[in-house]
Homo-oligomer: A and B are copies of this chain.
Amino acid sequence: MNKKKGQQSIVYEVSPVIVGTAAIGGPMEGEGLLAEYFHYIMKDNLHGEDSWEKCESFMLEWVARKAAQNLPGGMELADCVLAGDLLNQLMATHFAMRALGRPFIGLYGACSTMAESMILGACLIDGGFFQHVLGCASSHHDAAERQYRFPTELGVQRPPSTQWTVTGAGAAAIAASGVGPLITAATFGKVVDMGVKDPNNMGPAMAPAAVDTLYQHLQDLDRQPNYYDMIYTGDLGSIGKTLVIELMKEKGVDISANYEDCGCLIYREDQDAHAGASGCASSAVTFCGYIYSMLLQKKLSKILLIGTGSLHSTTSYQQKESIPCIAHAVAVEM
C-alpha cells in the first residue's frame, strides 16, 4: 500500500480476487441491451412478493446467495457481507441480511454503493481481516419512485432529463485468493455539490463528483486514461456522461475514447428510459453482469468503475437544499 499523504487513492498489496458475481434484473432490464448478462430475470416487478420493497429484498438475497456459490464454503463461510440500497434505512438490504445470517456491514452511498462495497470489502481482505466477503447493492424502480418522486400508479409524466431507476441487484464475491479479476486500486470520493437542485436531472448533479474522483485517481496513481481499456461511471445517463467528457477536457484530460456510463448501457432507445438508467443497480448489474463477463473473456483487461451517488433525501429536497453527490472509483484488472 503506497498511499501518500493528501492523496485519496489506495493501491492494494494483495489485490483481492473477484471470484464470482451475480446479477438479477426485472422485466424491463430483461428486454434491454444487457439481457444476456443477467443470471436471472424476473417476469414482473413483484416476483410473488407482496410489495416492491420485499421484491427488492428478494433480489438482493438472490444475488448474494448466487455469488457466494463461488466462495469456498459458500455463504456459510462468508466472513461478512457489505451491502446497501436506496430505500429509507436500507429496508431491502436489512431484510435480505436477516435471511442470510452472516456478519453484516451496512453502507449508504446511494448509487455509488456497489463500488463502495467492493472497495471496503477489498480493504478488509487486503488488510488481513477476512478471507471471503460479499459486496452487494440493489434498487427497485417502483420502490424508488414511490419514495423519491411519485408512486408509479399515479402515472406522473417524467421530464426528458429523468433517468430510469434500474430494478435489479448485483453481488460480487471477493476472496483473498482464487481465479478472477483483481481489485488493484481505489479512490474514495469527496462530497461534491455544485448547487443543482432538480432531482429529475441527476446526471449533471453527479457529473462533477465523478470528474473530481476520476481526476484525483489519475493524479494520485500517475496514470493516463488509456491505462484503462474502459472507464465506467455508474449512472450519470446521457446528459451527465456528456458533461463528464467536457469537464475532463477542461482539466486537459481526454477520456472520450474509452469512457462509457453504465446508465447508457442498460436500456434500448425505444424503451423510453429518457436520459438513461440510474439507481444502485445501474452500476451493480452492469459490473456484475456485463463488465465482469468481458473481463473473464479477456475482451477487457483493465477497467475503472466509478460508482456515482446522489446523496439528497426527500426531506432535503423539500427544504430547498441542493444535491450533494459522491463518486468512489475502483480499479479491476484481469
Contacts and interface: CB of A to CB of B under 8 A. Distances in A.
Contact of A90 (B94, B101, B127, B311): B311
28 contacts: A3-B130, A5-B73, A5-B77, A5-B131, A53-B315, A84-B108, A87-B315, A88-B314, A88-B315, A89-B108, A89-B314, A91-B316, A94-B324, A95-B316, A95-B321, A95-B324, A97-B324, A98-B193, A101-B190, A101-B191, A103-B188, A104-B191, A105-B116, A107-B107, A123-B124, A124-B127, A127-B128, A127-B129
The 9 closest A-B pairs by CB, nearest first: A127-B127, A89-B313, A103-B188, A94-B311, A108-B108, A97-B191, A91-B313, A88-B88, A106-B108
A183 to B, nearest CB: 13
Give how many copies assemble into the complex.
2
Contacts of A326: 104, 106
A110 interface: yes
A127 B123 contact: yes
A265 interface: no
A313 B88 contact: yes
A17 interface: no
Given A95-B321, A106-B109, A324-B98, A128 B314 contact: no
User: Interface size for chain A: under 10, 10 to 19, 20 to 34, or 35 or more residues?
Assistant: 35 or more
Contacts of A130: 3, 10
Contacts of A86: 89
A1 to B, nearest CB: 4
A8 interface: yes
A130 B106 CA distance: 21
Nearest to A102: B190
Nearest to A84: B108
A276 interface: no
A6 interface: yes
Given A3-B130, A108-B108, A126-B129, 19 more contacts: A1-B127, A8-B103, A10-B130, A13-B128, A51-B319, A88-B315, A91-B313, A91-B315, A91-B316, A94-B312, A102-B190, A104-B188, A105-B116, A106-B108, A106-B109, A107-B107, A123-B129, A126-B127, A127-B129
